[in-house]
Amino acid sequence: MNADQLYSKLRKIRFEKSENREDLRQFCEEKMPLINEILDLKEQKGAVILAHTYVPPEIIYSVADHTGDSYGLSKNARDAKSDLIVFAGVRFMGETAKILSPEKQVIVPATDGGCSLADSITGEDVRRLKKEFPDYTFACYINTTVDVKAACDVVVTSSNVYDIVARMDTDKIYFVPDRLMGLNLIADLEKRGIKKDIKLWDGTCYVHEEFDPALIESSRRMFPGLKILSHPECDPLITNESDFVGSTTQMYDYVVENGNDPTYLVFSECGLASRLEAEKGPFDMVGSCMFCKYMKSNSLENILRVLRNPEPADYIQVDDLIREDALKALNRMFAEAEKK
């Protein structure tokens, strides 16, 4: 890896929030000693580095072994041959990796690995709801803590939530924690002619709930042929008017399939637009994306620190009994997702 290679990727990105980016070439040159030390330590320690699409792009294009959304990365973590996983993402993702691979050491290098969805509900909340609604099946979004997963019957992701809930042989579902994704789920089931009683928790992603639906009408007027893409964490006022709704990876694939001619309006965290520009651009993209402060708290500096001098608190710890219950809910997802 050299500064030119990194520069050739980063220079295509218009949406960026890493610090110190006025002089991009200088930024790349300054980061090279850091990057090379990370690559050396990664090799010495036999580590694998996973990077969510929303983390700063200099991580994705210099040290990451795999990049993707939470579902894809959870499979990369499960299948990794390495004993040490450095998961550039947020804490619930590191916990998911640890649930799937308890024998591996997992570190999340974010300085703030929170998530407004994962932090909106506790395992205790779910256990209380289960007593209140004993005949409901509890489905949780993967953006939850290990304790919440352990208390639920099945985990879902943004790429499989609609299909899994549609196929489940129960008509009473309590879906946690994303209220907006739950409303989108209800609308999708209605479109498929499936009647289910769905109850919802009141969590939201603070990034995706902020998008303004008013942008849709004016953008459609100004850009004929506009393709609008949105994530199921967005408000139904946005998803109902979108040409495509899907996970980060599904939206990425949609743009690749539809090519560089249309103008795109993408309602998602800026990391998706950045990856598309770096890997498949140039594109005409209108509107503005939003940054997730939790994802952007990952940095090359902190990846180096956890590889060089990890502290006990850096390692994700999961209690064995809780892990077993959470694994059942995750394995049910993998089994359901692989059914056709």
Q: Are residues 239 and 188 in contact, defined by beta-carbon separation less than 8 angstroms?
A: no
Q: Which of 28, 86, 108, 115 binds ligand SF4 (CB under 6 A)?
A: 115
Nearest-approach distance from CB 117 to ligand SF4, in angstroms:
5
For the chain, give the longest Cα–Cα distance. 60
Single out the residue of 207, 245, 270, 304 in contact with ligand SF4 (rule: CB under 6 A): 207
Q: Are 185 and 160 in contact (CB under 8 A)?
A: no
Binds ligand SF4 (CB under 6 A): choice among 53, 105, 116, 145: 116
- By CB under 6 A, tell whether 289 contacts ligand SF4: no
Cβ neighbors of 66 (< 8 A, separation 6 or more) are 48, 49, 50, 51, 72, 73, 76
**292 is a site residue for ligand SF4 (CB under 6 A):** yes
Our finding on whether 291 is near ligand SF4 (CB under 6 A) is no
Which residues, in sequence order, are CB contacts of 13 under 8 Å at separation 6+? 57, 274, 277, 278
Burial of 246: CB neighbours in 10 Å, binned 0-12, 13-18, 19+ = buried
Smallest gap from Cβ 206 to ligand SF4, in A, equals 5
- Of 16 and 37, CB closest to ligand SF4: 16
Q: Which stretch binds ligand SF4 (CB under 6 A): 104-112, 215-223, 280-288, 291-299?
A: 291-299
Near ligand SF4 by CB under 6 A: residue from 269, 272, 298, 303 = 269
The yes or no reply on residue 294 touching ligand SF4 (CB under 6 A) is yes
Q: Which is nearer to ligand SF4, 67 or 116 (CB)?
A: 116
User: For residues 6 and 316, which CB has a smaller minimum distance to ligand SF4 in the complex?
Assistant: 316
Residues ≥6 apart with Cβ < 8 Å to 47: 41, 82, 84, 85, 86, 307
Site string for ligand SF4, 140-159 (x = CB under 6 A): ---x----------------
Tokens of 235: 């408000």
Size of the site for ligand SF4 (CB under 6 A): 12
**Angle between helices 248-258 and 270-280 in degrees, nearest 10:** 40
Our CB check for ligand SF4 shows the closer of 38 and 292 to be 292
The phi and psi torsions of 158 (rounded to 5 degrees) equal: -65, -20
DSSP 318: -
90 binds ligand SF4 (CB under 6 A): yes
Question: Applying CB under 6 A, does 295 fall inside the site for ligand SF4?
Answer: yes
Q: Does 206 bind ligand SF4 (CB under 6 A)?
A: yes
Give the CA distances from residue 269 to residues 19, 95, 107, 229, 259, in Å, rounded to whole numbers and listed in that order.
Answer: 17, 22, 23, 12, 21
Candidate segments 13-21, 128-136, 292-300, 323-331, binder of ligand SF4 by CB under 6 A: 292-300
Amino acid present at 168: M
Task: Pick the piece of the chain touching ligand SF4 (CB under 6 A) from 1-9, 55-63, 199-207, 319-327.
Answer: 199-207
Q: Are strands 66-68 and 105-107 parallel, antiparallel or unpaired?
A: unpaired
Instruction: Give the range of 36-44, 104-112, 205-213, 251-259 binding ligand SF4 by CB under 6 A.
Output: 205-213
Residue 11: DSSP 8-state: T
Kindly identify the residues of this chain, within the stretch 220-239, that bind ligand SF4 according to CB under 6 A.
none
Binding site for ligand SF4 (CB under 6 A): 90, 115-117, 143, 205-207, 269, 292, 294-295
